[in-house]
């Protein structure tokens, strides 16, 4: 179940991510390493306190979302969402890209090819 809030604020984003992971405030407190019950998470979600950077990084890992998403800087939960929704790349193109970037020999061949053709192009420009 995805919950979208009209008011994209840090407290709402924290709560949205917690609910998406089916965690109670008390469970999240334990995962974050806080002593006590749910008080600290309650304070974050009610905008009475902000987490420090170490806590934000822990939240990012627990919720499996980007820090940009967690901080309401964008609406893409991860880089894959950004690539698909913002850049419009299909799963097939993403898969091809991943295969190419994992094959360093192929990358070197592509770079050499581009470099050799760039040199030819730059020589044509000089002759004008």
3-state SS record for 32-92: HCCCCCCHHHHHHHCCCCCCCHHHHHHHHHHHCCCHHHHCCCCCCCCHHHHHHHCCCCCHH
Say how many CA atoms lie within 13 Å of 75 toward its Cβ: 9
**What CATH number labels 10-75?**
1.10.260.40
Taking the complete model, does pTM exceed 0.85, yes or no?
no
pLDDT tens, N- to C-terminus, the chain (128 residues): 444 445 678 889 999 999 999 999 999 999 999 987 788 999 999 999 999 999 999 999 999 998 889 988 888 888 778 777 777 878 888 788 777 766 667 667 777 777 776 665 545 544 54
Phi–psi pair at 16, nearest 5 degrees = -60, -45
Listed in order, the ranges of the chain carrying CATH 1.10.260.40 are: 10-75
Pair 40, 26: CB distance under 8 Å: no
Which pLDDT value is given to residue 6?
53
Which pLDDT value is given to residue 19?
95
Which pLDDT value is given to residue 120?
56
């Amino acid at each position: 179940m995805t919950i979208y809030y009209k008011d994209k604020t840090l407290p709402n984003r924290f709560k949205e991510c917690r609910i998406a992971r089916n965690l109670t405030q008390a469970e999240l407190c334990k995962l974050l390493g806080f002593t006590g019950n749910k008080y600290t998470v309650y304070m974050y979600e009610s905008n009475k306190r902000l987490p420090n950077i170490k806590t934000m990084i822990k939240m990012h890992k627990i919720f499996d979302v980007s820090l940009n998403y967690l901080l309401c800087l964008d609406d893409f939960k991860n880089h894959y969402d950004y690539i698909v929704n913002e850049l419009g790349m299909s799963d097939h193109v993403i898969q091809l890209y991943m295969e190419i970037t994992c094959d360093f020999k192929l990358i070197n061949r592509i770079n050499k090819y581009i470099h050799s053709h760039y040199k030819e192009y730059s020589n044509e420009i000089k002759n004008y």
